[in-house]
Structure 1
Amino acid sequence: MTEGALAHDPDERADWLRATTERLGVPGIFDVHTHFLPPRVTEKVRAVFASAGPLIGREWPIRYLNPDDVNVALLRSLGVRRFTALPYPHRPGMAEFLNDWAADFDHRTPEALHCGTFFPEPEAGEYVAARIASGVQVFKVHVQVGAFDVRDAHLVPVWAALEEAGTPVVIHAGSGPVPTEFTGPRPVAEVLARFPRLTLVMAHMGAPEYDEFLAMAETYERVHLDTTMTFTRFFADTTDRFGEVAGVCRHAGDYPDELLDRFAAVGQKVLFGSDFPNIPYAYAHQVEVLEALRDRYPALDDAWLAGVLWHNATRLFGAG
């Protein structure tokens, strides 16, 4: 497909998205969970999804298999005003290469936040401090892919620096879509007990351990949740099949109705995320399922949705 075809594909529902943000009185969408990576890394990530291998666990046809410039143009056409790169390493010695690439992506992409990442390695404390000083606005940690314990001793100076700076970290630590020995709420809870002022954004709202990660947002002032893929049927099916771990409700993929009171109460801590481009459905679907929540819980209304799509993230990161 060409860039023009993508930008004007009616399935993308660009007009509906723009009408929605106009109705809500916000200038557009602030998406805190999108991914842009170096080309060779992108190829490897896409191959993992295409293989439906052990990190994915099911068929996952990525919808947006485009070059970065096409995907950036598509986000703009959908009314996405701010977004992220969120690189993440899967081995030692890779983080700084990704950080250099993300800095260049930020420089040439006005809407992008300046993103960084890290790995538990001896030099992590030093380079994270340097990246904070250079203006990194958000870091990404993917516990499942990185296959490490967030309590690793090499990360102690990293968490200390991030707590002092207040720089947010989008952290995928929930056991969806496939649990590993490193995923789950307990290690993150122990890090927060030691560094209670950390600004953590729980990717996918901690799926499928929704209750435990919601409790962290209730307990700690700077803990947030991102909506990435949550409430979509695809993600519910995925975590139902592969998220049945100790302490998780049987139908973990469906966000439990009994949590909605508490979820609504932390509404200003809920940020919009999509996982674009690595999603198997149209971008607008994530907004549709959030808007549909009012049918289950009327308090999750236009004011709540306006906060999720724009105001909550701009409070955390600034409007740019």
Structure 2
Amino acid sequence: MTRSPPEAASTLSGGPSGAPHAAPDDDVPAPCLASAPSWRELGIRLPMPALADEEGPRVAPGLPPVVDAHVHLFPDRVFEAVWRWFDQHGWPIRYKLHTPDVLSFLLSRGVERVVALHYAHKPGMARALNAYVAQVAKDEPRVIGLATVFPGEPGATDILAEAFALGLKGVKLHCHVQCFAPDAPALQELYEVCAQAGKPLVMHAGREPASPRYPCDPYALCSAERVERVLKDHPKLKLCVPHLGADEFDAYARLLERHDTLWLDTTMTVGGYFPVPLPRQVLEVRPERILYGTDFPNIPYAWDRELKALVDLRPGGDALAGMLGGNALKLYGEVGC
């Protein structure tokens, strides 16, 4: 178990809290991670509709540097297959842009850096996808490219080592698409490779957003308890869970309190698209561990919807600058920690 640093005292209420939060003592057992009703129990189901909200022309002047820590980049044919699936089973994609246009769109609107994520839908894809993103990052230095691998495929650790040699800065895995539990045996060697290389792992390990058309049931695979097992078993692994851990927000807030190697990103959770309350607790408990992310271009609403919503929360002190970009740059080693 790790303890939280004093600099975690920023809040979303307009200023410092006056004292750092306290992590539990080592001899105190972890609190129960069960919390609010699940999205399934609340009747929230995919597919969901698009929104016709207005988009802004660019990042608002005067904001700290913005880094979108959750942008998807794929080769054209893979992108088009992803869009067909989302149009039928997820939500209508508003921005059907291929990689060059994704980058032009965001960078021309004032987003300063993007973290490029992709994932292999089946064994045998990862090497080609990694080479593709590595070349994109080489051609555009404002891209922080991540690798992927299909857990359990032959030579998985070699695939990651090759990807890191290409300059990729971390790894993206997706429990829903790749059909694995976070604590599955096939993941253990991948966690060790990432930990030894000091490369962060972004893993969609929350239960939501979940489609009944996924090849496996995310609720059977994913839970905050499983993620905590990973954090305990691999104490040097830097792990980022997207979507603020949806839908177990309270449980992930408690995990942030207990583990100094956990980060969360805000993707699709602060803009009010899903009909659930804003998970303020998970944003407030350790704002230095929260990254702004969007899922662009695979979103059903305006590109800056979540950016404006996050800014409107008025995080105090240095919290906004960290959430919008500084935390991501630190995580990926782009600035001094």
8 Å Cα contact 2:68/2:111 also seen in 1: yes
From 290, 308, 311, the equivalent of 2:323 is: 308
167, 174, 189: which one aligns with 2:206? 174
Distance 2:300 2:249 in 1: 22
* Counterpart AA for 1:268: E
Equivalent residue runs for 1:113-124 within 5 Å: 113-121=144-152, 122-124=154-156
Residue identity opposite 1:206 in structure 2: G
Name the residue aligned to 1:271. Answer: 291
The structure 1 residue matched to 2:116, chosen from 85, 98, 122, is: 85
Given the alignment, which residue of 1, 9, 12 partners 2:55? Answer: 12
Query: What amino acid sits opposite 1:307 in the alignment?
Result: G
Q: Distance in 1 between matches of 2:279 and 2:310?
A: 14
Aligned to 1:146: 178
CA distance in 1: counterparts of 2:162 and 2:102, whole angstroms: 30
In the TM superposition, 1:189-200 aligns within 5 A as: 189-200=228-239
Q: Which stretches of structure 1, 4 residues or more, deviate above 3 A after TM superposition?
A: none
Matched, 1:291 2:295: no
Considering fraction of residues, name the structure with more helix: 1
1:49–1:224 CA distance, 2 compared to 1 (3 A): same
SS in 2 for 1:80: coil
Question: Unpaired segments of 5 or more residues in structure 1?
Answer: 1-9, 238-252, 295-299
TM-score (norm 1): 0.80
Percent of residue pairs bearing the same amino acid type: 35
Distance in 2, Cα, partners of 1:213 & 1:199? 15
Q: Size of the alignment, in residue pairs?
A: 275
Aligned partner letter, 1:71? V
Secondary structure at the residue paired with 2:321? helix
Counterpart among 219, 231, 241 of residue 270 in structure 2: 231
Label 1:133 to 1:218 Cα distance change in 2 as closer, same or farther (>3 A): farther
In the alignment, what sits opposite 2:141? 110
Distance 2:244 2:55 in 1: 25
The separation in 2 between residues aligned to 1:154 and 1:147, in whole angstroms, is 11
Rounded Cα–Cα distance in structure 1 between residues aligned with 2:73 and 2:98: 10
Q: State the secondary structure of the residue aligned to 1:14.
A: coil
Aligned to 1:41: 78
CA RMSD, aligned part only?
A: 2.0
Residue 101 (structure 1) shift: 1.4
Determine the structure 2 residue equivalent to 1:201: 240
Q: Deviations over 1:187-236 (max 9, x none)?
A: 222221210221111101101111222222222212111011112221x2
Secondary structure at the counterpart of residue 120 of structure 1: coil
Larger RCO (alpha carbons 8 Å, 6+ apart): 2
Asked if 1 retains the 8 angstrom alpha-carbon contact of 2:134 and 2:166, the reply is no
Sort the Cα spacing of 1:133 and 1:107 in 2 relative to 1 into closer, same or farther, 3 A: closer
2:106 alignment partner in structure 1: 75
Query: Deviation of residue 149 (structure 1)?
Result: 2.3
Q: Which runs of 5+ in 2 are unaligned?
A: 1-52, 211-217
Residue of structure 1 in register with 2:161 after alignment: 129
Shift of 1:270: 0.7
Q: CA deviation at 1:318?
A: 4.1
Partner of 1:255 in structure 2?
A: 278
